[in-house]
Amino acid sequence: MTQEDKDLMAALSSLPQSDLEAKLQASLASLTPTAKPTPQPITPPKPPTTTSQSPADMLTAAIAAIAAQSQHDAPLDETRVREIATEVALDAASAASLDEAKLIELIKSHGRVARIDVTVNGGPVKSVTGAQHKNFSVLLKACSARDAAGNRLNIWIAGPAGTGKTSAAEAVAQALDLPIYAMGAVGNPESLVGYVSPVTGQYMTTVFRAAFETGGVMLLDEIDGSDANAMLILNQALANGWYQFPDGAKVKRHPDFVCIGAANTWGLGATSDYVGRFKADAAFLDRFVAVPWPIDEEFERALAGDDQWCQYVQRVRAAVKAKQIRVVISPRATFYGTALLAAGMTRDEVIAATVRKGMTDDQWASLGV
């Protein structure tokens, strides 16, 4: 830490909260680019004249610099800046533990406004809070939309392994007050729509029918690895808005049936990373709204539990991409590595188990990590 940083930390511990808060609010126009009028700043007590920049001004500049680096749509707003100011002031007043790392974490923890509002069935606005993927708001809004017939839309989310597609579907179900049902890659039509037992004559139902008939979020995980015949049946049900199940019942699609297909591809066939994926019928793909789901490294850090390890994994991922080495370093390397380190494994053991994987000695050495 430089001497200037040390002076800043020392000054913060004695800085009145009102002065810090007012200085931060005065800079909101530069922090939040928006067409809405900027709230008028509260006039603070006039600080003593000084020839150097005040701690509040320096902290404001630091927050502005971090906010300017954000690649996301949700900048710092007035509420978040006030929270930062309050936390810093309280921490400094209660204990002399405010250091550079703590200050940076306070700022970064408020860098993305983790609140999304949605209206369910014309009712009151419901808020979803907490760390979410940067595209979660797009997914939630798509799932809450309805077509001309009053049905919810079908969504195809595609992205690398380990990016949180399944947990996003669970969060959507919670936000829409709907039950969630899930299936992996559909291996045959019977696992989708059920069948009548040749022995007992009893109809064996499925989770797909439950969601289709009574409403709910139906997550079809690994949909791009599913059987083509099963997907033709799914296409028929989605296209017609009803399906005649093997027990003879003609079931109309429930207005709150939400079909989410989670995939590693866009259904156009195998890729170099995902070789077991099938090419889907064009008419089937046309039934879905596409929502990209790339790796969100800020979201990954928010969930990691070990920031130092997470940053290391992200450096390895960037190096692998730069060297065009065909190895997937997904966020699971961060989450699994954190768990293994906490269990007592050495860092070298964890690296071998989670990030190096099948790379040759020459490939690994070329990364420089």
Residues 113 and 77: beta-carbon distance below 8 Å: yes
Separation between Cα atoms, residue 147 and residue 118, nearest integer Å: 17
Reported as a pLDDT band with limits 50, 70 and 90, residue 28 is very low
- Per-residue model confidence (pLDDT) at position 250: 97
Axis crossing angle, helix 331-342 with helix 297-304, rounded to the nearest 10: 20
For strands 203-204 and 195-196, give the pairing: antiparallel
Under DSSP, is residue 253 helix (H, G, I), strand (E, B) or coil?
Answer: coil
Average pLDDT for the chain = 80
Report pLDDT digits (tens) over 177-192: 999 999 999 999 999 9
Residue among 308, 291, 62, 313 at smallest CA distance from 158 = 291
pLDDT tens per residue, range 152-185: 999 999 999 999 999 999 999 999 999 999 999 9
What mean pLDDT is predicted for residues 346-355?
Answer: 96
What's the pLDDT score for residue 183? 96
Q: What is the three-class DSSP state of 168?
A: helix
Model pLDDT, residue 111? 45
Q: Which helix (H) or strand (E) holds 57?
A: helix 55-68
pLDDT for 122 equals 63
Which pLDDT tens digit goes with each residue over 189-216?
Answer: 999 999 999 999 999 999 999 999 999 9
Q: Whole-angstrom Cα distance, residue 79 to residue 129?
A: 14
Q: Can you give the pLDDT at residue 130?
A: 77
pLDDT at 131: 86
Instruction: Indicate the range of 53-57, 254-258, 264-268, 363-367 predicted with least confidence.
Output: 53-57
pLDDT of residue 4: 57
Over residues 260-265, the mean pLDDT reads 96
Most confident of 27-36, 114-123, 190-199: 190-199
Nearest alpha-carbon partner for 223 in 273, 179, 166, 146: 166
Q: Is 154 helix (H, G, I), strand (E, B) or coil?
A: strand
Tell me the pTM. Answer: 0.70
What angle, 0 to 180 degrees and rounded to 10, lies between the N-to-C axes of helices 55-68 and 17-26?
Answer: 40
Reply yes or no on whether the pLDDT at 313 is more than 60: yes
The span from the CA of 31 to the CA of 99, in Å, is 23
Percent of the residues in the chain that have a pLDDT greater than 70, as a whole number:
66
How large is the average pLDDT for residues 216-240? 96
Which has more confidence, 47 or 239? 239
- Give the per-residue pLDDT at 263: 96
Residue 346: C-alpha distances to residues 301, 313, 325, 351, 356 (Å): 21, 15, 25, 9, 14
Model confidence at 56, in pLDDT bands (50, 70, 90)?
Answer: low
Q: What does the pLDDT read at residue 273? A: 87
Residue 368 CB-half CA count within 13 A? 5
Interval 110-123 mean pLDDT:
58
* Strand runs labelled E in the chain: 115-119, 125-129, 154-158, 180-183, 195-196, 203-204, 216-221, 242-244, 250-252, 257-263, 288-292
| DSSP per-residue codes, 74-91 | ----HHHHHHHHHHHHHH
361 in helix, strand or coil? helix
The angle formed by the CA atoms of residues 133, 134 and 138, to the nearest 5 degrees, is: 100
- Which domains, and CATH codes, for the chain? 3-109 (no CATH), 115-292 (3.40.50.300), 297-367 (no CATH)
